Structure formats: structure tokens, C-alpha cells
Structure 1
Amino acid sequence: MANSSPPISIRTRATAAFGIRYPIVQGGLARIARAELAAAVSEAGGLGQIAVAGVAEPEALRAEIRKAKSLTSQPFSVNFPMGYLKMDDLIELAAEERVAAMSFTGGDPSRHLRRLEGSGITALVLVSGPEQAKKAEQGGAHVLAVVGYEGGGHIGRTDLTTLVGTPLVVRSVGIPVLAGGGIADGYGLAAALALGAEGVEVGTRFIAVKETRAHQNYKDLVVRSGGQDTVVVKKTLRTPGRAVNNSWSRRILEAEAAGESPEVILAMVKADSNERGILHGDVDSSLLWLGQSAALVDDVPTAGELIARMVAQAHAASVRLARTMHQLG
């Protein structure tokens, strides 16, 4: 029977790969995840991440990495979105700064994975299905994260849900897999472990914590969300992403339905459309990423409080399951 108190660590191959206590990885969260959030998550036992999107100038990224190091001695990661920025110099810089991990989203990172071979840096690659997973493993990824259809931001083109996609990816590769999409608490963590994942990557939930630079209006929107107020945009660009259903995302959908050119759609999803909500609080006339798991969010704790809560919830779920299985036996 499980112990009555939450564990001081949850050991999986993912925690061993990253050198962390709990298999909880904070999502990349473009333009939101800076040093303060990454450090707070890592200090609490998870793996925090600094998003390159928003600090794409080399010296700005260097400053964020060094700030995070001044705030925690624990491992943290830097998140790189493929296909939008020139990454080579930034990846080289992060390697020079000896970050513990790097994550890659939204494209083929094979060339960058080769660059990291033998560096001691753990490479995390986000995938949306088994075929991508196999290619990433062959390319040199150390850990994978499955992006389920429920997730916020870029979700891949397979439309697989987390419940189905996670075991499919786990069966297809030999390296550790994290589950992402629809997970906002420790019960989701316990479910992911039951599916064969070795941890979770959590995005939307970490928007609504005190250490993010997200505007309070955005955090309040996450807390208010009922989970049915999101839409998937950018399908015509073959880079679908789940966002808040507001006037701006509806304009994007109308433009896509009308057959507007990729150039027109791209102009509507540029960084400034995102920053209007994130930085200035205009949550109606901006493109704001949001996953369905927002329905499970009802407060704005610190990152440390959230992780402690998730661990306690996961433990409670495991105890309940153990008791149920014992009774069945």
C-alpha cells in the first residue's frame, strides 16, 4: 500500500534525464516564460523553461539565462521554436552558457540535435504522433513530449488526443515520453504515468501563476475559462494552434475560410498580435494561446505552490487507485 504522505520525489527516466525531482516540465509559453518563471519551476523540483520567442536577440537571451542561474542552481531548459527565427547562433549561445536542456517545437530539429551530440545537454522534442516520434528518436532526441489536440498553442496536424496519442508514442519509441495537452493538475500527472508516459509537459496551467509576465487580464481569462471557449486557427498554414475564441481569432478563421493567402494569414498571427494581450491586456483583439485544460484552473498560485499541489494530487490519485485495485484483487 502507498504511504500516506506525498513523496519527496517521483522517479522516472524523465526525471533522471533532466536531473529533477518531479516529472513536471513547464511548457515553452512564447513571450511569457522568462527567467523568473523558469527558475521558480526548477527550484520547486520541476523543469522550468525560458522561451526564446520574445528574447531572440543573443544578448537578451544570454541575460535571461544568467538571471535564471542567479535565481536557482537547479536544471532548466531553453525552448526553441523551429521555423520562425534563425536559431543557430542562439542555440550556440545557450550551449556556451551550459544550460541543462533545450527543447524544440514546431519543426524538424535534426540538424540542431546533431550539434548537441556529446554536449551533455538533454534534448527534448515535441511531437504529435508516432511517426514524428520515431524520427525525433532517430535524430538524437533524449526525451519526447506528445502534444495532444486538447493543448494550447501549436498542436501538430494529427488531431490525436492526449489519451490516445500518448500510449501510441510510448509504444513506438524507446526513450522517455512526456504527455502534454489537457493536463493542469496532479490527477492529470497520475493519468499520464498510467498511460506509460514518464512525466508531463504543462503549458496553459503555467500561464496563471504569479511568476509569469502575462498580463493579469490574461491570467484572469484562464481562470474564467470553461474549456469550451477555444478555437483552432492556422490550419491553412499547416501549423494549427489552439487559441482563445475572441474577436481576433474569429477574424483569422474568417480569413482562412475565405481562402486568403498565407501572407495575409501570417500577417494576422505575427508577434504583435500576441503581445497585445500578453503584455498590454487586450484579451479580445489579440491572438492568445489557450488549451482546454484552462477549465481546470481556478486560481493563480506561485509556481512552487502549484507543483507541490500537483505532487500531492498525483499521490492521492495513486493511493486511491492502489486501494481500488486491492479491493478488486
Structure 2
Amino acid sequence: MEWKTRLTDLLGVKYPIVQGGLAYLAYADLCAAVSNAGGLGQITAMSLDSPEALREEIKKVKEMTDKPFGVNFAIGQHGRPFSHMVDVAIEEGVEVVSVTGGNPTPFFEQLKNTDIKKLVLVAAKRQAVKAEELGADAVMVVGQEGGGHLGRDDIGTMVLTPQVVDAVSIPVIASGGIGDGRGWMAAHALGAEGVEMGTRFIATKECVHASQAYIDALLASSEVDTTVIKRTLGAPARALKGPWTEKIVSMEAENADYDALKDLISGKANQRFIHDGQVENGYGWAGQVAGLIHDVPSVEDLFRRMVREAEAIRNGWNFEKRTDEI
């Protein structure tokens, strides 16, 4: 069964499945595994210390796969200059880049006169329309179910995706709450031409930078075991519930400002949880889809399972009326 959409044509992939940027986790092993399985793997650029580190990571991926892959730039969350990192992606001939968390205008300016495909993560219809106007080749639409940073309007994937599909002419990639073949097919039913998944890829064998404690926390989670932090700072983001996030939410309820919260919400606090397994001394991003994660397969096995599930659904979508029903 073929899975050809405008997105597969755009990205040169077999399946319209994109791996999320996953700060501090999306490196060569995971990226190459997703691309080899038929999707689009990505490296997280802004979690790396330098342009040289990004260049090395890109070279590692090229040694592990001959399939297309992308580089994600979280330009709004790290507060760091990014143009020198984009230069590396251009110089290394990366075929796809994605941008999250900020105004993509300077990013797009830097990519002028290149053939690099540009994906933009949005959390509102107006953002999708603007991204298309600026020159995005596709938009990734994240609903409030997703992990990590979200939109401010609390609009779910089921509602947001078809509205964006109706508002733009470029391919739409649904994100947030998707972790199996059912979610994948639901996205297509809403008009999307592919999906992006983040949380589900954390619990795979090739996500080698994720601590066992982080994996165990995902496996133990239900759909109600995540919470939204940083809402009072205007940057809502979904993470696993735990002592650390409970403290953040409690302080936000008491109107704590950024200075009071900055150490609690820092990248270092994130890494203490996801890398070092200090579950009471940090936090880990996760979407509500964590409630659907019950094992840690290889990326290849995850793709095979999703394809089987999706094919079974497609085969069951037969709405032709029988003559005896007319």
C-alpha cells in the first residue's frame, strides 16, 4: 500500500511521518533511524554547543543513512544567535530544515537562493497563513495535546488541523497527540498530508540520550499525567507531572516572575531529568500521548506497527453503499 502525499514528494520520504526536534535528544542515532525507516529524521541544532558540533552531527547522520533528513532550529526558546548554525546546514547540503518557537523571517532570508525545504511549526491558523506568506514549504500544526512548547490558545489538534488545512495551500503536518497508526490516519481524515511525532520517538531504542528514568516515567504515565508549565510567562509547554513541575505550577499560581522561575525551567533542569534521571530534580517534556506508550521498540518496529495499523484502517474505510441498502 502506497503512502504518497504532497509531503512525501516534498521531502523525498516513503511515509509522511516527521520526527520532532526533541531538544537535547534528537541526535544522529535517532535521526538516522527514522530516516532509514522511511520517515524524516531530524537533528536538534540549538541543543548543540557550536557550529562545529552541528557539523559533526550532520556528518554522523550521513554515515548512517543515505535518506533525506532535516535539522530543527528552535530559534525562540534558547535565546541564542542561530545564523552561524544555519550556515552549517547550508554548507553541509541539508535538504530540509524546520523552525520552531520564533519569527522565521530572518531564518528564511538566510535560506534564500537555496533549494532547502522549509517547515514551520505553528500553533494557530494565523501563524500558518503568515508562514505560507513568508515562503514555508509546509507547516506543522501542533495542538494543545502536544509535548514541549505549545500555543497560547489551548486549541486541540482535532479542531486546529482542519482549520489550517482550509486556510493554506501548502501541505499541513498534524502534530500533538499522535503516536500510532490510528492517530496518523485521523490526521489524514482531517486533511493533513502527514504527521509529526515527538513523545512517541523518545521511547524507542535509538533515542539513546534519554535516561531510563525518563523512559520509565513515560511508560508509567496515563493521559492525565502531564501538566502545562510556563503559562504565566506566555510560553506554555507540556511536561510530565512530578515534584519539579508541581513546584513550577505552584509558583506560577502565586504570580512568580521569570527571575524566580528561570532556574526551575532552565535547560539544565530539563537535562537533569532526561539525561541524568533525576526525576525529583528536573522535568521532562511529554505530550498527552504518553498514555498510549507501553513499550520501547526500535524505530523500525514502531514504523512497521504503525503501517500495519494504518493499513487496516484504510482497508476498512469502504463507504460504498450496497444495493440492498439503497
Residue 197 in 1 paired to residue 192 in 2?
Answer: yes
Q: 1:221 aligns with which of 217, 224, 230?
A: 217
Residue matched to 1:80: 73
State the shift of 1:320 in Å: 1.4
Which residue does 2:274 correspond to in 1?
278
Decide whether the 8 Å contact of 1:56 with 1:90 is kept in 2. Answer: no
Please state if 1:230 is matched with 2:226.
Answer: yes
Question: Residue type of the partner of 2:280?
Answer: D
Equivalent pair of 2:120/2:140 in contact (CA under 8 Å): yes
1:151 to 126, 146, 149: 146
Q: Which runs of 5+ in 1 are unaligned?
A: 1-6
Which amino acid is the alignment partner of residue 239 of structure 1?
A
**Cα deviation, residue 326, structure 1:** 4.8
* Equivalent residue letter for 1:60: A
When normalised by structure 2's length, the TM-score is: 0.96
- The question of whether the paired residues in 1 share the 8 Å contact of 2:264 and 2:282 is answered with no
Structure 2 vs 1, CA of residues 326 and 75 (structure 1 numbering), >3 Å: closer, same or farther? Answer: farther
Q: Distance in 1 between matches of 2:280 and 2:69?
A: 33
1:301 aligns with 2:297: yes
**Post-superposition shift, 1:55?**
1.1
Greater relative contact order structure (CA < 8 Å, 6+ sep): 1
Greater shift in the superposed pair: 82-91 or 133-142:
82-91
Q: Deviations over 1:131-163 (max 9, x none)?
A: 000111111110101010000001111211000
1:53 & 1:111 partners in 2: Cα distance?
A: 16
Deviation at 1:114, TM superposition (A): 2.3
8 Å CA contact retained: 2:43, 2:71: yes
1:20-56 Cα distance to aligned partner (Å, 9 max, x none): 0000001111001100100000011000011124213
Provide Cα deviations, 1:273-323, integer angstroms capped at 9, x if missing partner: 01111111112321210100011111100111111211111111111122x
Match of 2:112 in 1: 117
Does structure 1 residue 61 correspond to structure 2 residue 54?
A: yes
Aligned to 2:3: 10
Report the RMSD for the aligned CA atoms in angstroms: 1.3
Matched residues in 2 for 1:266 and 1:109: separation?
25
2:50 matches 1:92: no
Give yes or no for the alignment of 1:240 onto 2:233.
no
Give the count of matched residue pairs.
Answer: 321
Three-state SS of the structure 2 residue aligned to 1:293 is: helix
Once the two structures are superposed, residues 38-79 of structure 1 have per-residue CA deviations (whole angstroms, 9 ceiling, x without a partner) of 000001100001112421311111111000000000010111
Contact 1:236 1:262 in 2 (8 A): no
Task: Provide the residue aligned with 2:14 in structure 1.
Answer: 21
* Residues 326 and 266 (structure 1), Cα distance of their counterparts in 2 relative to 1, 3 Å cut: farther
Moved more, 112-121 or 34-43: 112-121
Provide the residue aligned with 2:102 in structure 1: 107
SS in structure 1 at match of 2:222 = coil
The answer on whether the counterparts of 1:179 and 1:192 sit within 8 Å (CA) in structure 2 is yes
TM-score, with structure 1 as normaliser = 0.95
Find the counterpart in structure 2 of residue 138 from structure 1. 133
SS at match of 1:77: strand
Cα distance, 1:122 vs. partner?
A: 0.7
**Identity of aligned pairs, percent?**
46
The aligned residue for residue 3 of structure 1 is none
Structure 1 residues 151-191: Cα deviation after superposition (integer angstroms, max 9, x where no partner)? 00011112110000000111110000000000000111111
Deviation at 1:216, TM superposition (A): 1.3
Q: What CA distance in whole angstroms lies between the structure 2 residues aligned with 1:112 and 1:77?
A: 15
1:4 maps to what in 2?
A: none
Look up the match of 2:250.
Answer: 254
Kindly indicate whether the alpha-carbon contact (under 8 Å) linking 2:99 and 2:121 is maintained by their aligned counterparts in 1.
Answer: yes
C-alpha separation in 2, matches of 1:319 and 1:325: 13
> Which aligned segments of 4 or more residues in structure 1 are displaced greater than 2 angstroms?
324-329
Structure 2 partner of 1:160: 155
Q: Secondary structure at the match of 2:47?
A: coil
Gaps of 5+ in 2: none
